[in-house]
Amino acid sequence: LSLSLSPPAMAAWRGLAGPLYAAATTPLKACLAPATTARMVFASHRRLHFDNTNTTRRPADNIAKAHGRLGHSVHLSFDHGSFAVHVVPMADDNYSYLAVNRATSEAAAVDPCEASTALHIAMGAGCNLAAVLTTHHHMDHCAANEELAATVPGLPIYASDTRVPAYTELVSPTEQGAPLKIAGLPVIVLDTSCHTSGHVAFYLPGSPGALFVGDALFVAGCGRFFEGNGRDMLHTLMRLSLLPDNTRVYCGHEYTVSNLEFAAAVYPDCQIIQESLAWAQAKRNNLTPTVPSSIGMEKKHNPFWRAAAVATSEEEAVQILNDLRTRKDKC
């Protein structure tokens, strides 16, 4: 897919590659074509292999001690080398996360909407809550901020939008600068505006890297375009396509089955989507989270990513994404 970009967009595209490459633990795809054309990276549509390696299910007795039953899904943790990620189900279908520094036992909570759940899981994991990362201002992603700030004196709360309650650190995208240091871990802030105008994702380089993407991207879907449009979504996909394919994607909601049902309606003959749907249904039958996904998986079974891949220009890609989002909103 070759996209003819405006000069500002092209400059932003070209500026992303170097710093992200330096921060990532595996090389980025070579995805910049010469002069006035940028090439988005889309993996070939081959059979998906759902990798469950480096996955740890917390013992049932530890879960019970920490919080009892964790709502809509079981509690899992994933190994990323220097840090671990705990998947923390909240509310009806939300996911919050704890990124735990293995060397210091400091933890950053991502998008918590229930303070007690975040604190209990941190206690059960034997870590100290050292920061909060907020992807956007919707209350199902930040309702716990004020209570956590009152409970943990001096707790830094990172956000890029002044509408986020109790924020203490206002951050801007750092993909063209030095990573932030949060809970002792390097964190790159990525502009993922579309769902909301101030939406960001947090990328932690690791083995593999972890991307906390809020509602910008879901497993096989994306968030509604409340404050953005197809152009914003296209630029978000372009940024995310620069990350290694094995980057684990931790999104904000358990919407995977319905997203894949929609994908199957859009692409009824796509075997990969059918396999993904069967896999997700089996997971949910056991109350197992379908997160994390990966950048590589999303390039294959996410209908928004697939639809943009057939465009021959930026304008066509924007129109396709707008039309597809409108169609999904009517489901």
Active-site amino acid positions: 136, 138, 140-141, 195, 215, 253
Q: What is the distance, to the nearest Å, from the Cα of residue 129 to the centroid of all Cα atoms in its chain?
A: 21
Residue 309: name the closest of 27, 45, 50 by CA: 45
Residue 300: name the closest of 50, 48, 49, 52 by CA: 48
113 within 8 A of 148, measured Cβ to Cβ: no
Query: How far is it, in rounded angstroms, from Cα 39 to Cα 26?
Result: 20
55 within 8 A of 236, measured Cβ to Cβ: no
Helices (H), the chain: 7-23, 60-66, 115-124, 145-151, 230-240, 256-266, 271-285, 295-301, 303-309, 314-329
Helices (H), 97-241: 115-124, 145-151, 230-240
Q: Could you give phi then psi for residue 155, rounded to 5 degrees?
A: -65, 120
Query: How far is it, in rounded angstroms, from Cα 186 to Cα 180?
Result: 6
Question: What's the chain's length in residues?
Answer: 331
Query: How far is it, in rounded angstroms, from Cα 40 to Cα 246?
Result: 17
Structure tokens at 243: 């990350």
